[in-house]
Structure 1
Amino acid sequence: MERNKKETKPSQYRTAKLYEIILFSTNNTATNFYNFMMGFVTYYAVGVAGLAVFLISTLLTAMRIFDGVVDPFIGYVIDKTDGKFGKFRPYIWIGNLTMIGTIVLLFQTTHLVPENFRLYYFLAVYAVYILGYSLQTTVTKAGQNVITNDPKQRPLFSMFDGIFTTLFYSTAGIYVSNYLSSKYNGEFGLDFFTEFSTTFMVGSLILTVLATIGIWKKDRTEFFGLGAENQTDNIKFKDYAKIVKENRALQMLTLAASTDKLGSKIKSNSISGVLFFGIIIGDYGLMGALSAISILPGIFFNVFGSMIARKLGQKRTYVLAQSSAFLVNGLMMLVVLMGDLQKFPYPILT
């Protein structure tokens, strides 16, 4: 009898269907299409638009600060949203469509703008792109708790997200280094960027549709936070600032996430791939081959990591993964330092 009572005891957590978790996990991959694509934007800015490499590299790095500043404001706006189409779906689509529009403008019109205004035009379009990117990426984390707040299910998001991310970056590496690079004789010209951007925009759009389906049933008022009956409409932005100021754990999480994002941007930048494989190793096509080889190990570690997270908790698993990442990336830095960087086609050291 006691066993039956235990089995029928209602859960304090809100759960989700497996397909909802899987489909919504593709939202991050949808934005990764653009994240990967924009890793090549320096080649367009320098090789096609004719902008100075050092100047554009410095300005693009500075624009990442703008990305970090705008995120809290977007989170605040999303938190205040509760309309006919839900809280998250509008921003998923506004973000994705904004990125589509800005990518078309960026790669198809910048080189046509008069030279005196070209840099300002490029930066203005890029700033709008960042807004669109931030809109869709902010939904990735915030939407998870709407679908499920069950601690046993939450690691599944990370697992499927990791699997999709591994598959994407591996396939994208093969696509660029073995297909596009060969097709266009290793030149990052206008034809290269036209095919590149079109393919990636379509891919991101398809995954955005899937992510929308995944969150569709839960994107309703009763699933927002504590529920509609407990919502408070008098929360001001200064209240969020106070939480950040006084919450040490949140500060550390923000710092960790920010440095992870910076490291990921540097590592995934196309210049890093060309530098490591094309210059130091001397075989750019090897990047695609290694990407293909890493697919299965990547999926294994994502599944294994999810299992560990469900057992040890996400915090302890995160710290363990970070320690391993420091070791591996440290060894990679040694390889880079031992290479001949003077062979790089752009004067990155001067």
Structure 2
Amino acid sequence: MESTTCNGSEDSSPIFYLMGIPSLPESLFLPVFLIFFLIYLLILVGNALILVAVVAEPSLHKPMYFFLINLSALDILSTTTTVPKMLSLFLLGDCLLSFPACFLQMYLFHGLSCSEAFILVVMAYDRYVAICRPLHYPVLMTPQTNVMLAASAWLIALLLPIPAVVQTSQMAFDTIAHIYHCFCDHLAVVQASCSDTTSQTFMGFCIAMVVSFLPLLLVLLSYAHILASVLHISSREGRSKAFSTCSSHLLVVGTYYSSIAIAYVAYRADLPLDFHIMGNVVFAILTPVLNPLIYTLRNKDVKAAITKITC
């Protein structure tokens, strides 16, 4: 889709120029590249190990681990939409993105981030059924149901950003539009436009709130039921076992919403632009790099499967 430009031909597609971290001196580009490269490598290796371990180990062919490999796949895909371009920017100074490439990156980043929120809801529901309705668990969480839940989470999340992306693509941009960010984030692209940005900023904020708070509300509702059920377990060992099955998921949820909080505070607070950019970058990479560590350190079954594969 082509956009009307503020200067130049209306039929020409604008080129987007990524400003990266504006006040970062060039002498620090290489160290920043190395940090991001190491983080990206950890994300790829950690999540790939989880994928291989769950697929290869028959004892992990359970609903909880089926949703876990969905989470790992999302982490790999979401970071691959943004981090390679960031690495190219800091190492090679490759700052330019075409109009289609920028909007494709924007759509994939936000769509996959939304998918992660909904997969976390599905995982919370799985833990609710396992603890609150254990006798019905094999009937309720069949392979067909698991596939349907995961597919619904992916589909709904990938549909949600479409209106905002399409409307943003119809805004007016200069022939070379400067984006003050390391990748094509929705808000940064909107602010690069020379159209009125009020409606688009409001739409993006509303979608972000829905995607953030609705899944969080559903997760909290699931864990309220889980907590009530666990408190009715008479033995301390039983309560400890029930909580241990949820601990990894709770840590992942906490990490995901902590990164959202960092990005939100960086955006809303009266901070320099660099803090706004870094808050969003933290949101993009924090959860994907910590998820494999949480599940390999906290879950003995996953740890045993990965140890078996690597050794």
Question: When the two structures are superposed, what TM-score results if normalisation uses the length of structure 2?
Answer: 0.33
Question: When the two structures are superposed, what TM-score results if normalisation uses the length of structure 1?
Answer: 0.30
